[in-house]
Amino acid sequence: MKYQIGKTGRVVVARFEDGEDVLGNLAKISKDEGIRAAVVYLIGGVKKGRVVVGPEKEELPPQPVWRQIDESHEIIAIGTIFYEADEPKIHLHGAFGKRDVAKVGCLRGDSETFLVLEAVIMELKGINAVRELDPSSGLSLLKL
């Protein structure tokens, strides 16, 4: 185990409108505000996205199992923002629900807000962490 101790910096509260790119907006805020490390909370709705719901088998590199979101779903999620090279990399896990069906997984790629989505970004100060590609897993993992 490796860890660092830091402090909370600025707190950003954002509202994403219908049709806006969820992950793209988080990355834009991070870049525009110079936020290099953060915790993200989301609550609201999404109507488009791809979610990884686990690996096919317990092996490296993992083969992801994908689920598509093609209509409105409620979302509650938590994630992190750390940079990989010069770009913010968002790692976001959430629960996505519609009627009596819920999906839980990692939102990746294109994603779209349904009606409204609220985001709270808590900047982490004093944390020197980045994401780097891990050759054995094929994933961008946190490096402290």
Instruction: Look up the CATH number of the domain holding residue 48.
Output: 3.30.1330.80
Cα dihedral sign for 66, 113, 45, 99?
Answer: negative
Question: Which amino acid type is present at position 11?
Answer: V
Number of separate domains in the chain: 1
**Residue 70: inside a domain:** yes
Which pTM value belongs to this model?
Answer: 0.94
* 5, two tokens: 């101790």
Q: Distance of CA 90 to CAs 2, 39, 50, 99, Å? A: 20, 10, 14, 27
Question: Which amino acid type is present at position 33?
Answer: E
**Residue 3: inside a domain:** no
Domain that holds residue 38: 14-143
- Alpha-carbon distance of 31 to 26, in angstroms, equals 9
- Alpha-carbon distance of 130 to 101, in angstroms, equals 35
Question: Which amino acid type is present at position 133?
Answer: L
The contacts of residue 15 (CB under 8 Å, 6+ apart) are 116, 117, 118, 119
**Residue 8: inside a domain:** no
Tens-of-pLDDT digits for all 144 residues of the chain? 999 999 999 999 999 999 999 999 999 999 999 999 999 999 999 999 999 999 999 999 999 999 999 999 999 999 999 999 999 999 999 999 999 999 999 999 999 999 999 999 999 999 999 999 999 999 999 999
**Residue 2: inside a domain:** no
